[in-house]
Structure 1
């Protein structure tokens, strides 16, 4: 009632040393080269081909003596009728199948040397052609086991075209147990590159047995070529640019033609080409294609970014106050460049007008010009010079009223030195943007005329101011107060007299006599008439 499941499929070999790899097609004659087709050493005696069996043991295939035309086949297994040797010592295997995927070794013996060259053979099923993927066997069962082929865990059904399953049952006459075998012929498509195939044995007694999943290499031609630019972005002048060409065929091509701006360059056994130290002249369209089909190509545009900047002036610039400075910025770039200005590390909305330079225009100007991935900074340091000029000379009392503080304000560059005509204390100086402020504290004992003189290498200027002693200044202030009071009293008296005159005149002009009897004494009436008479004179 028990049975054994085995499946005859692909056998992979992973040698410890590095070996060359060749691809063969299922059902076709496969050529395995000896030393890449180079096998003509001096004093050649014979060439021998060996292979690694399924169990890992070595096996002999054939031997060809140098002085003979035919080779002697020593294989006793399935290779006996399938192997031969070509004129260039390559091993020829007819009716290639998946079981041929193994390592073959060419041994070359000469008078002076013995060399061995190993090659790993991979057999691909050609897309669109039926290939025998494997044979599944369930042995020693009663009743006979039922075998089912699966692809990606889905059962395959014989359709007589793309899927052909041939099954057979044999019975051992001694034990009476049955063995079931099943062979799968399958027409692969491009989508089957990653498909997994298994064989499941079902029996009325016991659980199902499933073989280990196998994938089978599928050969199909290239349908699309892709060129990639494997470099940082953006590409700048001086960078190295690597072009990578890929194709979707299986096995994928390993050698390509690159079209480098009209020049054809072939690279073997690699899919990249590197442009070193590119310049703006390398901007253009690049192509790659298959070795045997230039029509199967891909293109990419490579743009090399560049930025040229020129600033006038640069470095240290010396100008006179009131002069004109012309600033010119020229730029040439692969794309539109961004320009920003800073003065003394502070960002400017725009460059100032330098048609009439002032001391405040002096400073370090930095121009940053940039495109994506590239930035240039240029600068000039402007110094504005001029002879000193006193703008203002003033005085005022200190907070305690005991001192006089003189302030002399001047413009000039370099910073002017100051000299006062009198001694003082608590000198204080500031200098910002060509403007200097000097302060001097004095206690004058008498009236003085004080001079402020400012000097630099370009000239000098001087201005005077009168300073009264505290005593005289207080007396002068008191005199001013007395005169003010007297003048104020005089004006008040005159105003009273004027008001009185207006009132009297209005009284005179407004009197008349009536038939009524006036009240008052005769003496009062007489005085009133006298006053009226005097007013008329």
Structure 2
């Protein structure tokens, strides 16, 4: 490379500088020398080599002590290059008749350290010009330049917004430069996550190069511009008994730590942190809630609806009634929105609500009136009615001759609650073939039966007794050898009810037909009576006409 038309050697700071003599060795060479020139032009000899004796001598120059090496071809090497080595060196070859010289320019380069952003601001505030930091790059030669970047883009100076000041200092002993660039900056909210960095540009042996610092992100402080209130937990519905928390937040940085909370019906705000908790809320907590900054600015509001569900069952608990009595039952609800009501009896869902105009044993049981509030999870109520239907024992006895004609079955059909205890007694001779057998007690009814083979007429007595009354019924049974009318045994209560219904239907039809026949007879009798009266009236009129004609004829004869 050439510099100002002269041969130039570029060296790296700390490396070895190698300078060839660049002269052809002439005939009759006596020796060669290297010198450098002082700024005033005066020479300083530093190395000598004889071509005949092959010995090398180095001049006593402190800056180059133990750093020089002169080869046989007169190439000069300087170890541990320094900034002070930037000089004009001259190679001299001397003969008896002539002295030849060839100058070489030495340039030394030093890469700076990676730049660092020092004295960083703890945080940045919007609308305020402040020192962001200093970018420092040390030990450069020649001096470099520093450029600031934000998010990869160059920061150009803008008055009162971006102010950059670059200072360069040199170490007198080493000759190396340190570049310090300070940045004053007025941030905006958008700079919250901005990456700031700096790049130092310097020159090396091969040309211009750059080194970049590590990026830095600053906490940007800005005032709150909006306040937001929200309800926690974030549920679509709130019901009585829930615990809720109001949370107020501002969009500033740092966010506000205290707020004023306004409760429905209260004019003064309650000073609190960013949360205000309410436990076991009731329906009267429904209303509009607000929060604001402590200076009562920037307010936000939300409406809370506390859903409720009340259920009233009348009567409830354990209720004891007598069979045949009426029992009105009502289940009423009061709720914040539409609710569904359903009934359950003995773990089975009922199709309709219970209504008791005349209580029967099968009406007894455990009733539950339950309700749920639609779209409000977990809001449900239920109340129970334990209905007990009591009745005095009722007895009906039947007898039947068994198919083997050797015994008879006597059945005692019993109704009542609490379940009556049944006892049998027999009068007359005869033997009880087996002990009494009872059917299952269902809906207040059961039966007890015995099988006997009486040798003579006997009387069987069935005694049913519970806490309400003792009932006794007797039945005469003929000896097994005497035929008699057998009463059929009731198969079940349902069949009995169906037979009774059919009998009622037949009786109704017969009564209807009789009434129709009676009405028809009455109508016919009236019709006949009227017809006879009309014929008598006609005969009377005809008689009167005949009599008149005879009178007229008699009068006519008299006149003649």
User: TM-score, normalization: structure 2?
Assistant: 0.56
1:465-504 to 2 correspondences below 5 Å: 466=477, 468-469=479-480
The corresponding residue for 2:392 is: 387
Matches within 5 A, 1:347-496: 347-371=349-373, 372=376, 373-390=378-395, 393-395=398-400, 397=402, 403-422=407-426, 423-429=432-438, 430-446=440-456, 448=458, 450-456=460-466, 457-458=468-469, 460=471, 462=473, 464=475, 466=477, 468-469=479-480
Structure 1 residue aligned with 2:328, among 326, 329, 349?
A: 326
Match for residue 251 of structure 1? 254
Cα-to-partner distance string for 1:354-411 (whole Å, 9 max, x where unaligned): 111111001121222343333333222111122333356243537x876543333232
The structure showing larger relative contact order (alpha-carbon pairs under 8 Å, at least 6 residues apart) is 1
Mean Cα displacement is larger for which, 317-326 or 362-371? 362-371
Partner of 1:226: 228
Structure 1 unaligned residues grouped into runs of 5+: 12-97, 102-122, 475-537
Moved more, 303-312 or 243-252: 303-312
1:138 corresponds to which residue?
137
* Matched residue, 1:124: 124
Residues 423-455 of structure 1, C-alpha deviation per residue, up to 9 Å, x if partnerless?
A: 342422121111112121323344555454434
Picking from 290, 295, 319, the partner of 1:292 is 295
Cα distance in 2 for partners of 1:5, 1:232 equals 51
1:175 partnered with 2:284 = no
Query: Of 279, 283, 287, which aligns to 2:282?
Result: 279
Q: CA deviation at 1:231?
A: 4.9
Asked if 2 retains the 8 angstrom alpha-carbon contact of 1:255 and 1:266, the reply is no
Bigger shift: residues 405-414 or 354-363 = 405-414
1:7 aligns with 2:122: no
Checking the alignment, whether the CA contact within 8 Å between 1:165 and 1:185 is kept in structure 2 is yes
Q: 2 CA distance for matches of 1:204 and 1:428?
A: 121
Separation in 2, partners of 1:299, 1:225: 9
Contact 1:405-1:440 at 8 Å conserved across structures: yes
Alpha-carbon shift at residue 322 of structure 1 (Å): 1.4
Question: Aligned to 2:231, what secondary structure does the other structure show?
Answer: strand
Query: Which residue is equivalent to 1:76?
Result: none
What residue number does 2:188 align with? 189
Distance 1:172 1:396 in 2: 138
| Secondary structure of the structure 2 residue equivalent to 1:360 | helix
Asked if the contact 2:463/2:470 (under 8 Å) is kept, the reply is no
Q: How large is the RMSD of aligned CA atoms in angstroms?
A: 3.3
Moved >6 Å (runs of 4+): none
Structure 1 partner of 2:245: 242
Distance 1:311 1:203 in 2: 92
Q: For residues 209 and 463 of structure 1, what CA distance do their matches in structure 2 show? A: 123
Is 1:9–1:133's contact at 8 Å kept on the other side of the alignment? no
Which segment drifts farther, 142-151 or 428-437? 142-151
Structure 1: how far apart are the matches of 2:201 and 2:343?
A: 83
Contact 1:138 1:181 survives alignment (8 Å): yes
The secondary structure found in structure 1 opposite 2:268 is strand
For the residues of structure 2 that align with 1:9 and 1:413, how far apart are their CA atoms?
A: 98
Q: State the aligned residue count.
A: 359
**Using the alignment, how far apart are the partners of 1:237 and 1:308 within structure 2?**
11
Deviation by residue 1:456-490 (Cα, 9 ceiling, x = unmatched): 42452636364552x6669xxxxxxxxxxxxxxxx
Secondary structure at the aligned position of 1:253 is classed as: coil
Q: What TM-score, normalized by structure 1, do the two folds share?
A: 0.59
Q: Secondary structure at the match of 1:251?
A: coil
Measured in 2, the distance between the counterparts of 1:368 and 1:232 equals: 28
Q: Which structure has the bigger radius of gyration? A: 2
Structure 2 alignment gaps of length 5 or more = 1-109, 427-431, 485-560
Instruction: Pick which of 372-381 and 216-225 moved more.
Output: 372-381
Change in CA separation of 1:468 and 1:211 when aligned onto 2, cut-off 3 Å:
farther
| Change over 3 Å in CA distance of 1:438–1:202 after alignment to 2 | farther
Structure-1 residue corresponding to 2:514: none
CA contact (8 A) 1:125 1:216 kept: no
